[in-house]
Structure 1
Amino acid sequence: MDHKQEHRVLVADDERVIRQGLQMLITRHYRDLTVLEASNGLECWNVLKTEPQIRLAFIDIRMPEMNGLQICEKVKTAGVAVKMVIISGFRDFDYARQALRYGVIDYLLKPVNPSDVLRLVHEAVTTPLPATQLNERQERLIIEEMRRWIHDHLHEDMTLHDLSRRFHYSVSYVSMLFKKEMGTGFQEYLLDCRMQRAKHLLLDPALRISHVAQQVGYTNPKAFSIAFRKVCGIPPTEYREMRGRETIPEVRYDSHQYP
């Protein structure tokens, strides 16, 4: 099969260095593919609707003339047969959620990982993805965004209903997603996250137990101690004393480095 004649890839980004970088990466590994470029949203849309050989499009979410989400909406409405990947410098789930509704197969954050680009080209051009795999990829993206949000808000009161309202999905769907992707229920996952965060905070002897409790969503220190003991087997005071006797290197906790 002559891929150059039948399959093409589009890279749309208003930053020339990004367009050329992706173009060089793809053609270096797939020399029989043609990689087209678009420097703004309108140009991107015009190429997509006039080039039926395009199988995959990498689309920057912020471009002049027309943004990436508007392009994805037009592609879905017009029924253009192309797999779309959004490239963005933003972690805001509002962008990702809208992109998913337009049928985007992946959402890559800048700086883009070259292995992700090559994987997507291989899947879309060489071995097209079945619809079931696309759904699974979208669900993994959804659960990752939910996990990021949870870890940024462990100090707040949080329920499954709160999470479903925040991300505009039904309670039953969010519950199913956690069990499917994480192998545990939402409450179990939340409790584990809070206790892992508490362990890191307890390594700082300057923090009072009550303050640690507040940082992981407990207004009542006694309730926190009961929960900590249930999960970890010992009270937080004993955990701190035990770890304090050990030689422990400095620990820095990044809220995005979730378990």
Structure 2
Amino acid sequence: MLRVIIADDEETIRNGLKTLIESYKLDLSVIATAEDGEEAMALIEKYHPEIILMDINMPFVNGLKVIEKIREVDKNSKIIIISGYNHFEYAQKALELGVFSYLLKPINFRNFKDVLSKAIDAYYERMWEIRKLKEDNDERDDSKDVGQLVLTYMKENFSYNHLSLNFIAEQFHISQSYLARIIKQKTGTSFTDYLNKLRINMAIKLLTDKDMDYTINDISNMVGYSSQHYFSRAFKNYMGVSPNKYRNVNKYPKI
């Protein structure tokens, strides 16, 4: 599931966009919203979302400046500008920055869903292109190179609940036993333990986020678990306490 951050200085628009996205039942999860440019940059640096919805005119730092900063470190996220201003210079600058789409307020609901669907497809296609380029440029019989590619792939895709040893082995055209061995060599843990570690670390960030109050089920879905029960069990095995107890202690500490 791809992660989405919404940045707009109007609360009604932020909430409206979030509700719309959730109603479309796409492969998207809104993990955070921002009311100004500075907050948007902080959230994007924290969560590294795949899809970003960005207003242009916001307090402190405008949306185009935020996008410039994003593009310095992330060339692949799909950014959709949602603006009330139909200025040529804005659209021109957005094009230079590689913005995926430029939508004008008020949003056309049907068109918005279509744009989001295309952004999802474009992101997955780009990830596939990057992976193929890595495959072409790396020696496939070098376990060190393959291992690093696999770990990078897992870090970028751990939130997809279909991720499995067999699935990744097929993507890299290697056997499951060979994949399990190089993951053990690189991390000192099994495939399952390493995948759980990636997911639990992101879950910890979401559980202790001061600005959001996700349900345990929401977090379970965001980090890639197929059920809340399995997530809670994995979290307790890893952290020694349940997700709820961890949040109560670390997000709402007693004074």
TM-score range, shorter chain: 0.3 to 0.5
Give the TM-score, by structure 2 length: 0.46
Give the TM-score, by structure 1 length: 0.45
